[in-house]
Amino acid sequence: MTKYARWTFWLVLLAVILGGVVLLSLAVGASGIPVNRVAGLFLSGGSPVERSIVFDIRLPRIILGFSIGGCLSLAGVILQGMFRNPLVEPYTLGISGGAALGVALNIALGLSAVNGFTLPACGFLGSGAVILFLYFTSLRRGVVKLQGLLLNGVMISFISSSLVMLLMSLSSGESLHGIVFWMMGSLGGSDQGLTGVMLVLSLVSLGSACLFCLHLNALALGEEEARHLGVPVERTKKVLFVFCAVLTGFCVSVAGMIGFVGLVVPHLMRRVVGPDHRILLPASFLAGAVFLIGCDTLARTIIAPLELPVGVITGIIGGSLFVYALAKGEA
């Protein structure tokens, strides 16, 4: 089998798995709906109750899971390729910490009770502040120092976590519950406007990331080798950093801190499809969507009718997979 035939096979297989997970997620829940009736709801009328469950509750969560899982996996692939470090993920840079601090301030001050849109807005403002700080503190004579950027990001993450815990200790019971639940991540509660924005953003991001696949292949060899191959290294690093930072900021602001997607999925797909970013980027996007939709389905069904935060499930499953890969020498 040729290289391109193998790539096509994996993309088609991942797309089929994604379709199966989506269909399963639409069917299962506190109110189970047979798969044949779920398919029928897209073709004909069906019961108003079942249509409401599928189109108003489950489908928006699936779209959000597809968008955020794909975006976090994309960001993980790009950052690991840039830093040539297998432990780098979207949250390592402290962007999630800034978003968490913005949201915690919003909840503690009661702004979300006035207007629900202020919650993701404050999260994105917090992540945006971290993005600007990291960029300018890592810029030296027009050159972005990746090592300094990574270290600053880790320190900002620790500082933000400490400030969030300070706010939690000073918050009332209701505010404390809101902060804790948001930090564990959830695909429920976002309005249709934000869900639509995330879907468009994810598809545009996938197309944009694929434009840099050859640059990422060159950077994987080292910055000096990439320069010899004609890659504008500094401009590429700046564009990709801002791209990943903004992408992560949007994801965290909309759904909270959902960990391990951007760390585990790129590792697994690199083992399956290889290190070439021409296939690794789209394959990781699809696999990230499958992983997050599957975890969200498990989170809302494992102790139904109660619902677990999806970040708990991604942490348990993702962490277990990563430890297993390390034990097997595959990470």
* 133, amino acid identity: F
Q: What is the pLDDT of residues 40-88, one digit of tens each?
A: 777 776 677 878 888 888 899 999 999 999 999 999 999 888 888 877 8
Query: What percentage of the chain reaches a pLDDT higher than 90?
Result: 28
The percentage of the chain sitting over the pLDDT mark of 70, rounded to a whole number, equals 95
Check residue 139 and report its DSSP letter. E
Tokens of 220: 């994987």
Tell me: pLDDT of 291 over 90. yes
Helix (H, G, I), strand (E, B) or coil at 140: strand
Contact 286, 65 (CB under 8 A): no
> Which pLDDT value is given to residue 90?
80
Written as six digits, the tokens of 295 are 């975890």
- Using DSSP, state whether 144 is helix, strand or coil: strand
Residue-wise pLDDT tens digits, 240-252: 888 888 888 888 8
pLDDT at residue 305 tops 80? no
Distance CA 184, CA 267 (A): 23
DSSP code at position 306: S
pLDDT tens digits, 106-121:
888 877 665 657 777 8
> Which pLDDT score is estimated for 331?
46
Residue 328 pLDDT greater than 80, yes or no: no
∠ CA(263), CA(268), CA(269), 5° rounding?
Answer: 105
Q: Which has more pLDDT, 1 or 90?
A: 90
The matching CATH number, chosen from 3.30.300.30, 1.20.210.10, 1.10.3470.10, 1.20.90.10, for 3-327 is 1.10.3470.10
Digit-coded pLDDT (tens) for 2-11: 888 899 999 9
Closest by Cα among 171, 174, 202 to 62:
202
CB 270 within 8 A of CB 84: no
Token pair of 74 as six digits: 């994309």
CA neighbours closer than 13 Å in the CB half-sphere of residue 111: 15
**107 near 115, Cβ under 8 Å?**
no
Which residues sit opposite 140 in a β-bridge? 143
The answer on pLDDT for 290 being more than 90 is yes
Q: Which position has the token pair 């976090």?
A: 72
Is-contact 283 17, C-beta < 8 A?
no
Amino acid at 319: G
The C-alpha R_g of the chain, in whole angstroms, comes to: 20
Residue 114 is predicted with a pLDDT of 59
Binned at pLDDT 50, 70 and 90, residue 221 comes out as confident
Residue with tokens 């990563």: 322
Q: Whole-angstrom Cα distance, residue 74 to residue 71?
A: 5
The structure's pTM equals: 0.89
Please, what is the average pLDDT of the chain?
85
Q: Who's near 29: CB < 8 A, 6+ residues apart?
A: 53, 58, 300, 301, 304
Burial class (CB in 10 A: 0-12, 13-18, 19+), 234: middle
Look at residue 208 and tell me whether its pLDDT is greater than 90: yes
234 Cβ neighbours under 8 A, 6+ residues apart: 142, 143, 144
